[in-house]
């Protein structure tokens, strides 16, 4: 079914989704199988509306509408459905031997993106970016409202949705199932936070000169994670900004553990805590952490804050201020994942850092001559600038031996211990203290 007259199109323009919905519902399954359903959104439309006014914004909407209208003429239907979003049907043939992307670009998408992007206007030339979602004919069936929802999810799931580039995404059942799984997992994580399912784990830090535990890094594990890997649920906690709340709960728990043990003369060692970039940059979390420490009464020498190395030191004035604040409160600060980001030496030059934790990348694979030189120099730099160097992620004896040779002292890694529940960590400390007692 084609739409060849402007009268037919004009009748359906301006009716929001109703026109698109009515058309879809009129079609048989056979007719639906000839068309792709497309959602187009103007990425930077609000900017033009704000800077140049509504009249210019309307001009852009009309421009994009006319481009799509010419594109689908005689082979589809377009409607400006709402705000800066358009929907259209267009005849589409899936060709054997060609990928969906190739078919889509050759059929109409490349023409659409280039025509809008290269529109000859002093303000708009190469400065209009479209976000496009597409449902191909083989998936164009079932409830219309559900299709529109899937189409929106598809478009917004493109990795480049927030970039100043044209972007598109093609619907598949697998992608949609992944979206549902992600939100289901996010829901479970909120439930887990409310019901205290996140447990405090500790990975011991060991002095390689004595093989004794001298500290530990506090980590988080989900007791009901099932087959959901740590990396996946941790990433979602960060994405949905729940990690900050979970971290604060675990920090309070750890502070109580330290205080109770010290009051009872039980063995305790300093604990370090990761402070996420989200918390570090967007909230006054540094003050909240110190407030909890002081409220519970934990001596500051038992607390260390670990800043992630991918924080951009140079571009954020708050980082030095936060580090100085911790310093004033006599709280040690270390730089985690040293060597993986772009701020390592900026922290050494300008930050109040007490220690750096060499990332596990330095200790993977063979201990080559080049690796030996690099490690030796990093430890030498640390000594010369008065910063402790901790080796993290060490798993092999050969690295332990070499770290001893170059003056390394503290190691955190599977060679000694994996992360463990707090109770197991305390049992190790109790055992260590018992072994240190003189025998009668």
The domain spanning residue 108 has which CATH number? 3.30.70.270
Phi, psi of 336 (to 5 degrees): -85, 155
Neighbours of 377 (CB within 10 A): 11
**What own/partner pairs with CB < 8 Å and gap ≥ 24 does 348-354 have?**
348/381, 348/385, 348/387, 350/313, 350/320, 351/313, 351/319, 351/320, 351/323, 352/320, 352/323, 352/324, 352/326, 352/327, 353/307, 353/323, 353/387, 354/304, 354/387, 354/388
Look at residue 133 and tell me if it is in a domain: yes
Identify the sign of the CA torsion 295, 262, 423, 334: positive
C-alpha–C-alpha distance, residues 17 and 169, integer Å = 21
Q: Residue 1 has what pLDDT?
A: 40
Radius of gyration of the chain (CA): 29
Helix, strand or coil, per DSSP, at residue 184: helix
Assess whether 147 and 77 both reside in one domain.
yes
Q: How many domains does the chain have?
A: 2
| Selection from 333, 334, 332, 259 nearest residue 293 by Cα | 259
Within a domain: 177: no
DSSP per-residue codes, 205-244 = EEETTTTEEEEEEEEEEETT-TT--HHHHHHHHHHTT-HH
Q: Say if residue 152 is in the same domain as residue 277.
A: no
Q: Are residues 247 and 352 in the same domain?
A: yes
Give the per-residue pLDDT at 10: 39
Please report the pLDDT score of residue 8 as a whole number.
41
Walking along the chain (440 residues) 10 residues at a time, the average pLDDT comes out as 40 69 94 96 94 95 95 94 95 90 94 96 95 97 96 96 95 95 95 95 98 97 94 92 92 97 97 84 82 97 86 64 91 89 69 89 94 96 94 96 97 97 97 83
Domain boundary among the residues 120, 136, 171 is at: 171
Token reading at 430: 């109790």
> The tokens 């594109």 sit on which residue?
71
Query: Residue 177: its pLDDT value, please?
Result: 95
pLDDT computed for residue 205 by the predictor: 98
Residue at which a domain ends, from 171, 202, 217 = 171
Domain identity same for 422 and 297: yes
pLDDT at 342: 60
C-alpha 158/C-alpha 278 separation (Å) is 23
SS3 52: helix
Q: Residue 343 has what pLDDT?
A: 60
Rounded to two decimals, what is the model's pTM?
A: 0.81
- Please give the residue range of the domain that contains residue 429: 185-436
Contact 413, 363 (CB under 8 A): yes
Q: Are 276 and 309 in contact (CB under 8 A)?
A: no
Q: Which position has the token pair 């598949």?
A: 172
User: What is the predicted pLDDT for the residue at 129?
Assistant: 96
* Residue partners of 440: CB distance under 8 A and separation at least 6: none
pLDDT in the model for residue 108: 95
Residues 275 and 230 in one domain: yes
Question: Both 131 and 252 in a single domain?
Answer: no
């Amino acid at each position: 079914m084609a739409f060849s007259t402007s009268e037919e199109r004009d009748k359906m323009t301006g009716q929001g989704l109703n026109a698109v919905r009515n058309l879809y519902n009129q079609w048989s399954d056979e007719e639906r199988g000839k068309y792709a359903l497309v959602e187009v959104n103007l990425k930077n439309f609000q900017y033009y509306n704000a800077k140049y006014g509504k009249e210019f914004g309307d001009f852009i909407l009309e421009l994009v509408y006319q481009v799509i209208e010419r594109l689908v003429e005689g082979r589809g239907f377009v409607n400006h459905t709402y705000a800066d979003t358009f929907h259209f049907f267009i005849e589409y043939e899936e060709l054997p031997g060609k990928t969906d992307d190739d078919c889509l670009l050759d059929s109409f998408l490349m023409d659409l993106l280039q025509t809008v992007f290269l529109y000859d206007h002093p303000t708009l030339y190469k400065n209009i970016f479209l976000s496009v979602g597409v449902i191909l004919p083989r998936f164009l069936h079932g409830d219309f409202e559900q299709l529109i929802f899937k189409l929106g999810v598809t478009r917004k799931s493109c990795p480049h949705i927030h970039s100043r580039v044209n972007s598109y995404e093609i619907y598949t059942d697998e992608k949609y199932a992944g979206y549902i799984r992600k939100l289901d997992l996010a829901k479970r994580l909120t439930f887990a936070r409310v019901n205290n399912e996140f447990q405090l784990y500790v990975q011991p830090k060991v002095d390689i000169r004595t093989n004794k535990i001298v500290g530990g890094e506090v980590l988080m594990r989900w007791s009901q994670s099932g087959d959901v890997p740590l990396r996946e649920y941790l990433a979602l906690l960060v994405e949905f900004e729940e990690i900050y709340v979970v971290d604060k709960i675990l920090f309070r728990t750890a502070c109580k553990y330290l205080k109770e043990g010290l009051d009872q003369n039980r063995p305790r060692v300093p604990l370090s805590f990761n402070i996420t970039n989200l918390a570090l940059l967007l909230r006054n979390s540094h003050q909240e952490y110190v407030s909890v420490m002081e409220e519970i009464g934990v001596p500051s020498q038992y607390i260390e804050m670990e800043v992630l190395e991918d924080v951009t030191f140079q571009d954020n004035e708050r980082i030095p201020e936060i580090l100085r604040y911790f310093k004033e409160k006599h709280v040690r600060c270390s730089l985690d994942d040293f060597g993986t980001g772009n701020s390592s030496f900026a922290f050494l030059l300008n930050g109040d850092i007490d220690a750096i934790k060499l990332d596990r990348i330095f200790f993977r694979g063979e201990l080559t001559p080049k690796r030996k030189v690099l490690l030796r120099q990093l430890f030498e730099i640390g000594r010369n600038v008065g910063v402790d160097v901790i080796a993290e992620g060490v798993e092999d004896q050969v690295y332990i031996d070499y770290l001893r040779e170059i003056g390394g002292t503290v190691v955190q890694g599977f060679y000694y211990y994996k992360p463990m529940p707090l109770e197991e960590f305390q049992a190790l400390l109790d055992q260590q203290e018992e072994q240190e007692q003189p025998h009668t």
